[in-house]
């Protein structure tokens, strides 16, 4: 099967925004729509499950320059559609931007401003389930068996009990949650409704969809049709699914361009942080940054992961260390800065698009939901060294194309030291329609997660298979600490201080 994925994603750096928590507009409150002039939870108070802090899309638009300076090229928003929850996964209306976020006026202005600055915008599509407030389901609650929308959902018997937990709900809810009635995707009108929603926002200029729990949709051909219809409008639209483990079923080129790559996240943190990982924060979510692993195991896991899907799919995977569904990475690694720095280095040098969760770049911490969804720190509380680190590593990835789209080759692994190459030959660059220039250089990335300095030798025969050829004598240290020595037989010795990494 011919696999084609969006070219822009292969060199993208994403920034994930939880809209209620990123930024409030600086516009005077009295000038805002009345729907935004409501009581709100204090911005710096610990976040709660059922309260709003009032972040909005005007606020995002006012901070686009910050994202550009960080090196971001694309924004992934968690849901923005009208809802009765701060996370907005309980969709009321798929055609309306939530009024607390500023409505359609704020979104239209944001989209125009983002595109003017070269930023792509990807929205979150919650198409497995809707909410009790979704009009068609609400009609069922009001009119019972007389509702014309019965076949849109999975009604089991009567009466329905959407709020009374002492009674059976009598309809299918996602994970048996009453607020989230599941669509009947086999019903042609319901299926067509979702397809048209997908088309509508792409026609509006949105650059792609992140699909919430797509594996829950069992209707044959559903996501293949969704892809066909979205791509018919914009062949470069990005379709990325929330699949936490083996995604082979969806990544054959006929459904998704990529998935949220948690199989990268877990082993990476297990390797660089080891026993520093805070187990209470990770034993629930299914991405497994434990138990601790050593370099050989890590290298094998990454190699296996990269062999799992077609290469064009690998380049459009969405790689991450934190998200709205898991504890923030700095908290997961016990606030050990070296662990995070090594993980970030591996993130920005791994095939696929790196994604930064809002606030991680300024030192935000947070436990499991809802604590991982805190209000963005005021600038006076930013860790400026941390921000500079993120800028430097993102700039490195964007400058050296091999780090974005080059082939990945494991070179050496010993104890807690690991090295790999990213290389982009002129032939591979031509296949990706990338003009040949100086940034096609091959790069060696090495990390030492041990508490002591190490020397890691890369055999000459390993280096000989990298193209363009690696030459220690002609190399340069692009990032980090350490020394590189070229032996007479062509081997390289990397001398790495404890808990550091480098790019050569």
Exposed (0-12), middle (13-18) or buried (19+): which is 232, by Cβ within 10 Å? Answer: exposed
- 488 included as an active-site residue: no
Q: If residue 463 lies in a helix (H) or strand (E), which one and from where to where? A: helix 460-464
Check if the beta carbon of residue 429 is closer than 8 Å to that of residue 407: no
pLDDT tens, the chain, 504 aa long: 689 999 999 999 999 999 999 999 999 988 999 999 999 999 999 999 999 999 999 999 999 999 999 999 999 999 999 999 999 999 999 999 999 999 999 999 999 999 999 999 999 999 999 999 999 999 999 999 999 999 999 999 999 999 999 999 999 999 999 999 999 999 999 999 999 999 999 999 999 999 999 999 999 999 999 999 999 999 999 999 999 999 999 999 999 999 999 999 999 999 999 999 999 999 999 999 999 999 999 999 999 999 999 999 999 999 999 999 999 999 999 999 999 999 999 999 999 999 999 999 999 999 999 999 999 999 999 999 999 999 999 999 999 999 999 999 999 999 999 999 999 877 777 777 776 555 567 899 999 999 999 999 999 888 888 867 666 566 889 999 999 888 888 889 999 999 999 999
DSSP annotation of 46:
P
Tell me the domains of the chain and their CATH numbers: 7-128+183-399 (3.20.20.80), 405-503 (2.60.40.1180)
CB contact set of 49 (below 8 Å; sequence gap of 6+): 86, 370
Check if the beta carbon of residue 445 is closer than 8 Å to that of residue 451: no
Q: Would you give the distance in Å from CA 17 to the centre of its chain?
A: 10
- 212 included as an active-site residue: yes
DSSP annotation of 94:
E
Considering the candidates 20, 124, 207, 242, report the single residue annotated as catalytic.
Answer: 242
Considering the candidates 212, 294, 325, 360, report the single residue annotated as catalytic.
Answer: 212
């Amino acid at each position: 099967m011919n696999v084609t994925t969006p070219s822009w994603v292969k060199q993208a750096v994403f920034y994930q925004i939880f809209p209620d928590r990123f930024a409030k507009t600086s516009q005077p409150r009295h000038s805002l729509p009345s729907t935004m002039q409501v009581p709100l939870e204090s911005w710096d108070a610990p976040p709660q499950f059922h309260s709003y802090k009032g972040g909005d899309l005007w606020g995002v638009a006012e901070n686009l320059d910050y994202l550009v300076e960080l090196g971001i090229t694309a924004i992934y928003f968690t849901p923005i559609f009208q809802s009765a929850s701060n996370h907005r996964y309980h969709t009321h209306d798929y055609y309306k931007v939530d009024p607390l976020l500023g409505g359609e006026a704020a979104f239209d202005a944001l989209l125009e401003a983002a595109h003017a600055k070269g930023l792509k915008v990807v929205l979150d599509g919650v198409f497995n389930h809707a909410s009790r407030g979704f009009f068609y389901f609400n009609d069922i609650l009001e009119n019972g068996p007389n509702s014309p929308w019965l076949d849109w959902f999975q009604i089991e018997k009567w009466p329905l009990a959407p709020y009374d937990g002492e009674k059976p709900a009598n309809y299918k809810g996602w994970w048996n949650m009453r607020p989230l009635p599941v669509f009947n995707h086999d019903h042609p009108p319901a299926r067509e409704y979702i397809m048209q929603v997908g088309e509508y926002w792409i026609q509006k200029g949105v650059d792609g969809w992140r699909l919430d729990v797509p594996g829950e949709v069992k209707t044959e051909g559903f996501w293949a049709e969704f892809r066909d219809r979205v791509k018919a409008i914009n062949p470069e639209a990005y379709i990325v699914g929330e699949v936490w483990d083996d995604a082979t079923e969806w990544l054959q080129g006929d459904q998704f361009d990529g998935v949220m790559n948690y199989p990268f996240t877990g082993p990476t943190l297990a390797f660089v942080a080891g026993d520093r990982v805070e187990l209470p924060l990770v034993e629930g979510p299914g991405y497994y940054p434990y138990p601790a692993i050593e370099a050989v195991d890590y290298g094998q896991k990454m190699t296996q992961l990269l062999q799992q899907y077609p290469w064009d799919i690998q380049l459009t995977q969405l790689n991450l260390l934190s998200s709205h569904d898991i504890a923030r990475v700095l908290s997961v690694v016990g606030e050990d800065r070296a662990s995070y720095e090594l993980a970030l280095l591996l993130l920005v040098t791994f095939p696929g698009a790196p994604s930064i969760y809002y606030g991680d770049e300024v030192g935000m911490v947070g436990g499991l939901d809802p604590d991982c969804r805190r209000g963005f720190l005021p600038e006076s509380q930013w860790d400026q060294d941390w921000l500079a680190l993120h800028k430097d590593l993102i700039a490195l990835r964007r400058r050296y194309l091999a780090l974005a789209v080059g082939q990945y080759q494991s070179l050496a692994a010993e104890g807690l030291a690991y090295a790999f190459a990213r290389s982009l030959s002129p032939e591979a660059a031509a296949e990706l329609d990338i003009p040949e220039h100086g940034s096609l250089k091959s790069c060696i990335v090495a990390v030492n997660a041990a508490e002591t300095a190490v020397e890691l030798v890369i055999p000459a025969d390993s280096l000989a298979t990298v193209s363009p050829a690696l030459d220690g004598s002609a190399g340069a240290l692009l990032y980090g600490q350490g020394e590189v020595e070229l032996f007479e037989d062509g081997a390289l010795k990397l001398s790495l201080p404890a808990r550091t990494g480098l790019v050569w």
